[in-house]
A and B are shown apart, each in its own frame.
Chain A
Amino acid sequence: MRHNVYLYILGMWLVSYLIRVLPLTLIRREITNRTIRSFLYYVPYVTLAVMTFPAILTATQSPISAALALILGLALAWFGGSLFQVSVACCVIVFVAELIIC
Protein backbone atom coordinates (compact mmCIF):
# COMPACT_ATOMS: atom_id res chain seq x y z
CA MET A 1 0.00 0.00 0.00
CA ARG A 2 1.53 3.26 -1.11
CA HIS A 3 -0.90 5.54 0.69
CA ASN A 4 -1.60 6.24 4.35
CA VAL A 5 -4.59 4.16 5.42
CA TYR A 6 -5.62 6.69 8.05
CA LEU A 7 -5.86 9.39 5.39
CA TYR A 8 -8.12 7.13 3.36
CA ILE A 9 -10.29 6.61 6.42
CA LEU A 10 -10.39 10.34 7.13
CA GLY A 11 -11.44 11.06 3.55
CA MET A 12 -14.13 8.37 3.64
CA TRP A 13 -15.45 9.70 6.93
CA LEU A 14 -15.45 13.32 5.80
CA VAL A 15 -17.37 12.73 2.58
CA SER A 16 -19.87 10.43 4.33
CA TYR A 17 -20.42 12.97 7.09
CA LEU A 18 -20.98 15.86 4.68
CA ILE A 19 -23.58 13.82 2.81
CA ARG A 20 -25.34 12.99 6.05
CA VAL A 21 -25.21 16.38 7.70
CA LEU A 22 -25.71 18.96 4.95
CA PRO A 23 -29.45 18.54 4.27
CA LEU A 24 -30.15 18.25 7.99
CA THR A 25 -28.33 21.51 8.73
CA LEU A 26 -29.25 23.47 5.60
CA ILE A 27 -32.98 22.67 5.49
CA ARG A 28 -34.06 24.54 8.57
CA ARG A 29 -37.69 25.20 7.72
CA GLU A 30 -40.64 23.01 7.01
CA ILE A 31 -40.93 22.41 3.31
CA THR A 32 -44.30 23.67 2.10
CA ASN A 33 -44.22 22.32 -1.45
CA ARG A 34 -46.73 19.50 -1.48
CA THR A 35 -44.89 17.30 -3.96
CA ILE A 36 -41.58 17.52 -2.09
CA ARG A 37 -43.33 16.89 1.22
CA SER A 38 -45.07 13.86 -0.22
CA PHE A 39 -41.84 12.63 -1.78
CA LEU A 40 -40.02 12.82 1.55
CA TYR A 41 -42.97 11.17 3.27
CA TYR A 42 -42.74 8.13 0.97
CA VAL A 43 -38.92 7.90 0.89
CA PRO A 44 -38.41 5.89 4.11
CA TYR A 45 -40.91 3.18 3.25
CA VAL A 46 -39.73 2.80 -0.32
CA THR A 47 -36.06 2.79 0.56
CA LEU A 48 -36.50 0.22 3.36
CA ALA A 49 -38.58 -2.02 1.11
CA VAL A 50 -36.02 -1.74 -1.68
CA MET A 51 -33.19 -2.58 0.70
CA THR A 52 -35.05 -5.59 2.09
CA PHE A 53 -35.91 -7.38 -1.10
CA PRO A 54 -34.29 -9.23 -2.77
CA ALA A 55 -31.19 -8.60 -0.59
CA ILE A 56 -32.60 -10.69 2.27
CA LEU A 57 -32.60 -13.79 0.05
CA THR A 58 -28.81 -13.80 -0.18
CA ALA A 59 -28.09 -12.76 3.42
CA THR A 60 -28.18 -16.27 4.87
CA GLN A 61 -26.70 -19.63 3.95
CA SER A 62 -29.79 -20.68 2.07
CA PRO A 63 -32.48 -18.75 0.20
CA ILE A 64 -35.04 -21.07 1.78
CA SER A 65 -34.25 -20.02 5.34
CA ALA A 66 -34.16 -16.40 4.19
CA ALA A 67 -37.55 -16.72 2.47
CA LEU A 68 -39.00 -18.19 5.67
CA ALA A 69 -37.62 -15.25 7.62
CA LEU A 70 -39.11 -12.86 5.07
CA ILE A 71 -42.56 -14.43 5.33
CA LEU A 72 -42.47 -14.69 9.10
CA GLY A 73 -41.16 -11.12 9.45
CA LEU A 74 -43.86 -9.67 7.20
CA ALA A 75 -46.60 -11.61 8.99
CA LEU A 76 -45.39 -10.81 12.48
CA ALA A 77 -44.94 -7.11 11.71
CA TRP A 78 -48.41 -7.06 10.12
CA PHE A 79 -49.95 -8.42 13.31
CA GLY A 80 -48.24 -5.90 15.55
CA GLY A 81 -44.90 -7.49 16.46
CA SER A 82 -42.40 -5.00 17.88
CA LEU A 83 -39.09 -4.16 16.26
CA PHE A 84 -37.26 -6.44 18.67
CA GLN A 85 -39.72 -9.33 18.36
CA VAL A 86 -39.71 -9.31 14.57
CA SER A 87 -35.95 -9.03 14.41
CA VAL A 88 -35.31 -11.86 16.87
CA ALA A 89 -37.99 -14.09 15.33
CA CYS A 90 -36.33 -13.76 11.93
CA CYS A 91 -32.95 -14.74 13.40
CA VAL A 92 -34.44 -17.73 15.24
CA ILE A 93 -36.30 -19.11 12.23
CA VAL A 94 -33.16 -18.89 10.09
CA PHE A 95 -31.14 -20.68 12.75
CA VAL A 96 -33.72 -23.45 13.17
CA ALA A 97 -34.36 -23.82 9.44
CA GLU A 98 -30.64 -24.12 8.73
CA LEU A 99 -30.26 -26.82 11.37
CA ILE A 100 -32.60 -28.85 9.22
CA ILE A 101 -31.61 -27.95 5.66
CA CYS A 102 -27.88 -27.17 5.83
Chain B
Amino acid sequence: MITDRKKWFFKGMRDGIPIMLGYFAVSIALGISARNAGMTAPQATIASALIMASAGQYIGFTLIAAGASYLEVVVMEAIANARYLLMSCALSQKVDSALPLRHRLLMGLWITDEIFGVSVSVEGRLNPYYNYGMAAVATPGWALGTLMGVVLGNVLPVRVVSALSVGLFGMFMSIFVPPARKNRIIAALVVVSFAASYAFNAISAFDGISSGMKIILLTVVISLGAALLFPVEKEADHAA
Protein backbone atom coordinates (compact mmCIF):
# COMPACT_ATOMS: atom_id res chain seq x y z
CA MET B 1 0.00 0.00 0.00
CA ILE B 2 2.77 2.42 0.97
CA THR B 3 4.88 1.40 -2.02
CA ASP B 4 1.80 1.93 -4.15
CA ARG B 5 1.48 5.48 -2.81
CA LYS B 6 5.15 6.11 -3.43
CA LYS B 7 4.93 4.75 -6.94
CA TRP B 8 2.00 7.01 -7.79
CA PHE B 9 3.55 10.03 -6.11
CA PHE B 10 6.76 9.71 -8.11
CA LYS B 11 4.90 9.00 -11.32
CA GLY B 12 2.92 12.15 -10.59
CA MET B 13 6.11 14.13 -10.09
CA ARG B 14 7.49 12.88 -13.40
CA ASP B 15 4.32 13.67 -15.30
CA GLY B 16 4.22 17.00 -13.49
CA ILE B 17 7.46 18.21 -15.08
CA PRO B 18 5.93 19.34 -18.38
CA ILE B 19 3.14 20.95 -16.38
CA MET B 20 5.69 22.79 -14.26
CA LEU B 21 7.55 24.08 -17.34
CA GLY B 22 4.37 25.23 -18.99
CA TYR B 23 3.12 26.82 -15.78
CA PHE B 24 6.38 28.62 -15.31
CA ALA B 25 6.11 30.18 -18.76
CA VAL B 26 2.44 31.05 -18.56
CA SER B 27 2.58 32.45 -15.04
CA ILE B 28 5.33 34.93 -15.94
CA ALA B 29 2.71 36.77 -17.95
CA LEU B 30 0.38 36.50 -14.98
CA GLY B 31 3.04 37.99 -12.71
CA ILE B 32 3.44 40.91 -15.06
CA SER B 33 -0.31 41.52 -14.92
CA ALA B 34 -0.17 41.33 -11.12
CA ARG B 35 2.54 43.94 -11.07
CA ASN B 36 0.50 46.16 -13.36
CA ALA B 37 -2.39 45.73 -10.92
CA GLY B 38 -0.18 47.18 -8.18
CA MET B 39 0.31 43.93 -6.30
CA THR B 40 3.55 43.15 -4.48
CA ALA B 41 5.68 40.07 -5.16
CA PRO B 42 4.55 38.24 -1.97
CA GLN B 43 0.90 38.98 -2.70
CA ALA B 44 1.08 37.71 -6.27
CA THR B 45 3.10 34.64 -5.31
CA ILE B 46 0.73 33.68 -2.49
CA ALA B 47 -2.25 34.20 -4.78
CA SER B 48 -0.70 31.87 -7.36
CA ALA B 49 0.32 29.20 -4.86
CA LEU B 50 -3.21 29.11 -3.46
CA ILE B 51 -5.52 29.77 -6.39
CA MET B 52 -3.74 28.12 -9.33
CA ALA B 53 -6.12 29.38 -11.98
CA SER B 54 -4.81 31.39 -14.90
CA ALA B 55 -7.96 33.05 -16.21
CA GLY B 56 -9.44 33.31 -12.73
CA GLN B 57 -6.39 35.04 -11.30
CA TYR B 58 -6.01 37.31 -14.28
CA ILE B 59 -9.60 38.50 -13.93
CA GLY B 60 -9.15 38.83 -10.18
CA PHE B 61 -6.01 40.94 -10.52
CA THR B 62 -7.68 43.16 -13.10
CA LEU B 63 -10.64 43.75 -10.80
CA ILE B 64 -8.38 44.39 -7.80
CA ALA B 65 -6.55 47.01 -9.83
CA ALA B 66 -9.89 48.61 -10.67
CA GLY B 67 -10.79 48.74 -6.96
CA ALA B 68 -13.77 46.43 -7.37
CA SER B 69 -15.71 45.26 -4.30
CA TYR B 70 -14.92 41.96 -2.60
CA LEU B 71 -18.26 40.60 -3.76
CA GLU B 72 -17.59 41.48 -7.40
CA VAL B 73 -14.20 39.76 -7.28
CA VAL B 74 -15.63 36.64 -5.67
CA VAL B 75 -18.52 36.40 -8.15
CA MET B 76 -16.24 36.84 -11.15
CA GLU B 77 -13.86 34.29 -9.70
CA ALA B 78 -16.72 31.80 -9.43
CA ILE B 79 -17.73 32.40 -13.06
CA ALA B 80 -14.17 32.18 -14.38
CA ASN B 81 -13.52 28.96 -12.48
CA ALA B 82 -16.89 27.24 -12.83
CA ARG B 83 -15.43 24.66 -15.20
CA TYR B 84 -13.63 23.12 -12.23
CA LEU B 85 -17.06 22.12 -10.96
CA LEU B 86 -17.43 19.81 -13.95
CA MET B 87 -13.91 18.50 -13.55
CA SER B 88 -14.55 17.79 -9.89
CA CYS B 89 -17.70 15.83 -10.83
CA ALA B 90 -15.69 13.78 -13.31
CA LEU B 91 -12.97 13.11 -10.73
CA SER B 92 -15.58 11.98 -8.19
CA GLN B 93 -16.30 9.10 -10.56
CA LYS B 94 -12.65 8.39 -11.21
CA VAL B 95 -11.55 7.85 -7.61
CA ASP B 96 -12.43 4.86 -5.45
CA SER B 97 -15.90 5.50 -4.02
CA ALA B 98 -14.50 4.59 -0.59
CA LEU B 99 -11.78 7.27 -0.81
CA PRO B 100 -11.67 9.03 2.61
CA LEU B 101 -12.82 12.62 2.96
CA ARG B 102 -9.36 13.97 3.77
CA HIS B 103 -8.06 12.85 0.39
CA ARG B 104 -11.03 14.41 -1.36
CA LEU B 105 -10.43 17.68 0.48
CA LEU B 106 -6.74 17.60 -0.47
CA MET B 107 -7.28 16.65 -4.11
CA GLY B 108 -9.71 19.53 -4.48
CA LEU B 109 -6.91 22.00 -3.84
CA TRP B 110 -5.18 21.13 -7.09
CA ILE B 111 -7.89 20.70 -9.68
CA THR B 112 -6.41 22.69 -12.54
CA ASP B 113 -6.99 22.17 -16.26
CA GLU B 114 -3.67 20.38 -16.60
CA ILE B 115 -3.61 18.28 -13.43
CA PHE B 116 -7.19 17.27 -14.08
CA GLY B 117 -6.48 16.40 -17.70
CA VAL B 118 -3.55 14.21 -16.84
CA SER B 119 -5.09 12.52 -13.80
CA VAL B 120 -8.37 11.71 -15.52
CA SER B 121 -6.53 9.94 -18.33
CA VAL B 122 -5.04 7.35 -15.95
CA GLU B 123 -6.24 3.85 -16.63
CA GLY B 124 -8.65 2.50 -14.04
CA ARG B 125 -9.05 4.12 -10.63
CA LEU B 126 -7.22 7.31 -9.78
CA ASN B 127 -4.85 7.18 -6.80
CA PRO B 128 -4.81 10.60 -5.04
CA TYR B 129 -1.06 10.36 -4.56
CA TYR B 130 -0.68 10.76 -8.31
CA ASN B 131 -2.30 14.19 -8.00
CA TYR B 132 -0.17 15.07 -4.99
CA GLY B 133 2.98 14.23 -6.94
CA MET B 134 1.91 16.44 -9.83
CA ALA B 135 0.91 19.25 -7.50
CA ALA B 136 4.24 19.04 -5.65
CA VAL B 137 6.03 19.80 -8.91
CA ALA B 138 3.51 21.99 -10.71
CA THR B 139 2.61 24.38 -7.88
CA PRO B 140 6.17 25.72 -7.43
CA GLY B 141 6.36 26.25 -11.20
CA TRP B 142 3.21 28.34 -11.12
CA ALA B 143 4.16 30.32 -8.01
CA LEU B 144 7.78 30.94 -9.03
CA GLY B 145 6.83 31.96 -12.56
CA THR B 146 4.43 34.49 -11.09
CA LEU B 147 7.17 35.75 -8.79
CA MET B 148 9.54 36.07 -11.75
CA GLY B 149 6.92 37.99 -13.64
CA VAL B 150 6.47 40.51 -10.83
CA VAL B 151 10.14 40.90 -9.99
CA LEU B 152 11.90 40.59 -13.31
CA GLY B 153 9.17 41.46 -15.75
CA ASN B 154 10.49 40.90 -19.20
CA VAL B 155 13.92 39.54 -18.35
CA LEU B 156 13.34 36.22 -20.10
CA PRO B 157 13.75 36.40 -23.86
CA VAL B 158 10.37 36.64 -25.58
CA ARG B 159 11.32 33.67 -27.74
CA VAL B 160 11.73 31.44 -24.72
CA VAL B 161 8.43 32.49 -23.15
CA SER B 162 6.70 32.04 -26.48
CA ALA B 163 8.09 28.53 -26.93
CA LEU B 164 7.29 27.46 -23.37
CA SER B 165 3.73 28.79 -23.61
CA VAL B 166 2.80 26.17 -26.16
CA GLY B 167 3.90 23.32 -23.88
CA LEU B 168 0.60 23.18 -22.05
CA PHE B 169 -1.29 22.71 -25.29
CA GLY B 170 1.10 19.92 -26.24
CA MET B 171 0.12 18.26 -23.01
CA PHE B 172 -3.56 18.62 -23.73
CA MET B 173 -3.07 17.03 -27.15
CA SER B 174 -1.18 14.09 -25.70
CA ILE B 175 -4.21 13.48 -23.48
CA PHE B 176 -7.12 13.71 -25.89
CA VAL B 177 -5.51 12.39 -29.08
CA PRO B 178 -4.70 8.77 -28.07
CA PRO B 179 -8.31 8.01 -26.99
CA ALA B 180 -9.49 9.69 -30.19
CA ARG B 181 -7.40 7.25 -32.16
CA LYS B 182 -9.03 4.30 -30.43
CA ASN B 183 -12.57 5.62 -30.33
CA ARG B 184 -14.25 7.17 -33.37
CA ILE B 185 -16.84 8.98 -31.30
CA ILE B 186 -14.15 10.77 -29.31
CA ALA B 187 -12.32 11.58 -32.56
CA ALA B 188 -15.50 13.12 -33.96
CA LEU B 189 -16.05 15.00 -30.71
CA VAL B 190 -12.58 16.51 -30.93
CA VAL B 191 -13.28 17.75 -34.44
CA VAL B 192 -16.66 19.14 -33.40
CA SER B 193 -15.09 20.78 -30.33
CA PHE B 194 -12.37 22.44 -32.41
CA ALA B 195 -14.89 23.74 -34.93
CA ALA B 196 -17.41 24.93 -32.34
CA SER B 197 -14.72 26.56 -30.24
CA TYR B 198 -13.32 28.33 -33.29
CA ALA B 199 -16.76 29.56 -34.32
CA PHE B 200 -17.58 30.68 -30.79
CA ASN B 201 -14.40 32.73 -30.62
CA ALA B 202 -14.65 34.12 -34.14
CA ILE B 203 -18.23 35.38 -33.93
CA SER B 204 -18.13 38.84 -32.41
CA ALA B 205 -21.63 38.52 -30.94
CA PHE B 206 -20.10 36.27 -28.28
CA ASP B 207 -17.29 38.69 -27.38
CA GLY B 208 -19.01 39.60 -24.12
CA ILE B 209 -18.78 36.04 -22.83
CA SER B 210 -15.64 35.33 -20.82
CA SER B 211 -13.30 32.64 -22.08
CA GLY B 212 -14.00 30.55 -18.97
CA MET B 213 -17.73 30.72 -19.65
CA LYS B 214 -17.22 29.78 -23.29
CA ILE B 215 -15.34 26.68 -22.22
CA ILE B 216 -18.17 25.67 -19.88
CA LEU B 217 -20.94 26.29 -22.39
CA LEU B 218 -19.17 24.38 -25.16
CA THR B 219 -18.21 21.54 -22.85
CA VAL B 220 -21.72 21.12 -21.48
CA VAL B 221 -23.50 21.34 -24.83
CA ILE B 222 -21.13 19.08 -26.77
CA SER B 223 -20.68 16.49 -23.99
CA LEU B 224 -24.40 16.36 -23.30
CA GLY B 225 -25.18 15.95 -26.99
CA ALA B 226 -22.66 13.11 -27.20
CA ALA B 227 -24.04 11.49 -24.04
CA LEU B 228 -27.55 11.51 -25.48
CA LEU B 229 -26.56 10.33 -28.95
CA PHE B 230 -23.82 7.88 -27.96
CA PRO B 231 -24.36 6.69 -24.40
CA VAL B 232 -21.40 4.80 -23.00
CA GLU B 233 -21.90 1.30 -21.66
CA LYS B 234 -20.47 0.64 -18.23
CA GLU B 235 -17.56 -1.60 -19.18
CA ALA B 236 -16.27 0.92 -21.72
CA ASP B 237 -16.03 3.50 -18.95
CA HIS B 238 -12.53 2.87 -17.72
CA ALA B 239 -11.09 1.69 -21.01
CA ALA B 240 -9.91 5.04 -22.27
Contact = CB atoms under 8 A, between A and B. Distances in A.
Interface residues of A, number: 81
A19 to B, nearest CB: 5
B108 A98 contact: no
Interface of B: 14-15, 17-18, 21-22, 38-40, 43, 46-47, 50-53, 56-57, 60, 64-65, 67, 69-70, 73-74, 77-78, 81-93, 95, 97, 101, 104-105, 107-109, 111, 113, 116-118, 120-121, 158-160, 162-181, 186, 189-190, 193-194, 196-198, 201-202, 211, 214-215, 218-219, 222-224, 226-228, 230-232, 234, 237
B90 A51 contact: no
Q: Which of A3, A13, A19, A55 has the most CB of B within 10 A?
A: A19
Nearest to A77: B177
Contact of B108 (A14, A24, A48): A24
Which residue, A28, A37, A90, A98, has most C-beta atoms of chain B within 10 A?
Answer: A90
Given A15-B81, A23-B88, A73-B170, A35 B227 contact: yes
9 contacts: A9-B46, A17-B108, A39-B224, A44-B175, A44-B176, A45-B179, A50-B197, A84-B15, A98-B163
A54 to B, nearest CB: 5
Given A46-B223, A48-B176, A91 B121 contact: no
A28 B165 CA distance: 37
A95 B227 CA distance: 40
B84 A16 contact: yes
Contacts of A42: 186, 189, 222-223, 226-227, 232
A90 B232 CA distance: 33
Interface in A75-90: 76-78, 80-90
A98 to B, nearest CB: 6
B101 A25 contact: yes
A48 B196 contact: no
A94 B160 CA distance: 9
A85 B45 CA distance: 29
B97 A46 contact: no
